[in-house]
Amino acid sequence: MSSPVETFTTYKHSIELQKNVADLWWTVDDNEREITFELHINTTGWIALGINLAGGMKGTDIGVGWVDQRGSVYFQDRYAFAKERPMLDNTTIDWFALQGREVSGWTAIQFKRLLDTCDLMDVPIKSGTNKLIFAYGLTDPIPSGPNGEISYHENQHGSRALSLRSYTDSLSEDTFAGLDYFDFRLNNYVVPSTEMTSHCKIYKAPSNYSVKQHAIGYKMIIDSANQDLVHHLLIYECDPTAQFDDNNLPDDLCNEIYLQTAPCAYNGAIIWDVGGNDIVAFPEEAGYPIGGDFLIKYYMVQIHYNNPYQLSNRTDSSGIRFYIGKELRQHDLGYLTLGTTSTPHALAIPPKMERFIIDSYCPATATMGGERAEDEMCRHVMKYYPRMNNMYDCLMMNSPQIWNSMMNTSSSSFNDSKLMEWLLNLTWTSEQAVQWQEFYNIASRVLLYGASSNLQFKFMSGLPKYQDLKPVACTKDQTINQTTSSQTTTMNESISYTSRIRQNIMIILI
């Protein structure tokens, strides 16, 4: 942590939001259904923390505070309807300052709010990943009182994705002290000044391990200066039959070398995304195999950069470090990817849907023996043991037959491009969006499972029936002390059914 200011109390979790700029501590009280934060930012002006469901400014619930020259603490509940100055919450005040101070040019404020306030101008803090933004000004609002207006933050802002209610504090690197390790890292790669970049590089397994070893953990090495650009990082195991020139391993934009890297593009292993743990230790009884007679000899690291401001002259050396245990463990560890394919066949969600369910099913028979920042992806990568070398993926998509029926086309003319074009030429009403959900609920599926060298396909006319849990209604039966003072302000059945839906969908084709 960078802040020189001592915290007001002890917290369960903490994170450095931006080195030498912003630190955050927090504790969740599930009994009281509230969360207490302490935010430190290197400024003597106003500071702010916001919570958003999708990231960005629009729809952000924000707490803004500052300490004036007399030491008085002011705090405001604000909401951003668009990418503009957030307005004061005109419903109920649900962010509350507890105490604050300015020390050595830093502002520190402790504040709290309910996890779910039942307020339309507040964002509930739910289980899973929460999108946080922080911002600050160089001066206090004018006037410096309860109704003070904040200045524009310019470039003084940042964001992080965190699981506030189930956060696991990163392990200390000391956990692996004294162990051998190896890195798969870029070397001063010049990040293109384009909005989205996917860079792929092939690495050969370390040659110094003549006998199989077990990695017992890893560390994601994300350049601190590029935390705003590195969106996610994936490690793939290349097919055991893959062959490369060890003196000229592929290293370029992914779409430029996709033919060369094809043997490495399917067998996913480790994945890291913004907000994920930087340091991970594997279970004591399992280790990730490397070297010796282990089948995998090459790996691909794919790093996705999200550069919305198209910044230039940025170099990056991000990657991953594996720590080698001193002895083999009982089991080899493997990775299994569950969910859907990242294609329109699987993910075609109507716009502006607050809730849309896409089911994915992986039967026991399978497991026995787009990727831009703004694209939809629905996958979960989990580690397991004992490892199965013929099993990496268990993914679903809607069957081509069901799409042919919906589009009223023949199977010979169906392809990805036509599906995408058809989808983009649809316009939507709320009623048609509901019918689209019904289509997905009964649609026939294709299951893809196995490994890249032996991928299996299975047609499924439908999915097992189960009842979705209904969202829990918010009940505001608890309150936080709302003190106001000078210091605080406060998817044959499916085909016939599809025909009926198609008749309605055709009405909305442009």
CB 341 within 8 A of CB 312: no
Same domain, 200 and 295: yes
Lowest-pLDDT range of 59-63, 399-403, 462-466: 462-466
Alpha helices (H) along 299-399:
364-367
- Indicate if the pLDDT at residue 169 is higher than 80: no
Q: Cα dist. 326→25, 287, 371, 463 in Å?
A: 36, 11, 37, 46
- Indicate if the pLDDT at residue 152 is higher than 90: no
- pLDDT for 168 equals 73
pLDDT-derived band at 145, boundaries 50, 70, 90: low
pLDDT-derived band at 494, boundaries 50, 70, 90: very low
Q: What's the number of CA atoms in the CB half-sphere (13 Å) around residue 31?
A: 0
Residue 188 region, left (φ>0) first, then alpha (ψ -120 to 50), else beta?
Answer: left
3-state SS of the chain: helix, strand, coil percent to 5? 15, 35, 50
- pLDDT for 166 equals 80
More confident residue, 471 or 334: 334
pLDDT, average across residues 473-477: 70
- Indicate if the pLDDT at residue 406 is higher than 90: no
Same domain, 326 and 177: yes
pLDDT-derived band at 85, boundaries 50, 70, 90: confident
- Indicate if the pLDDT at residue 374 is higher than 50: no
Under 8 Å CB-to-CB from 459, ≥6 apart: which residues? 399, 444, 445, 446, 447
Same domain, 188 and 317: yes
Packing angle, helices 416-424 and 400-407, rounded to 10: 50
pLDDT, average across residues 337-355: 83
- pLDDT for 408 equals 84
Domain count, the chain: 3
Q: Residue 336 carries which side chain, given as an amino acid letter?
A: L
Same domain, 152 and 177: no
Q: Which of 160, 140, 134 is nearest to 48 (CA)?
A: 134
| pLDDT tens digits, one per residue of 66-77 | 999 899 999 999
Same domain, 212 and 252: yes
pLDDT, average across residues 219-233: 91
Instruction: Flag whether the pTM goes above 0.75.
Output: no
Answer whether residue 181 is part of any domain: yes
- pLDDT for 222 equals 92
More confident residue, 17 or 184: 184
- Indicate if the pLDDT at residue 491 is higher than 70: no
Domain containing 263 equals 173-332
Helix (H) / strand (E) element for 451: namely strand 445-451
Same domain, 222 and 326: yes
Give me the phi and psi of 415, to 5 degrees please. Answer: -155, 170
- Indicate if the pLDDT at residue 147 is higher than 70: no
Looking at 129, 162, 195, which one is the last position of a domain? 162
Same domain, 22 and 144: yes
Q: How far apart are CA 345 and CA 335, in angstroms?
A: 24
More confident residue, 470 or 158: 158
Answer whether residue 354 is part of any domain: no
Same domain, 211 and 316: yes
Question: How many C-beta neighbours within 10 Å does residue 84 have?
Answer: 10
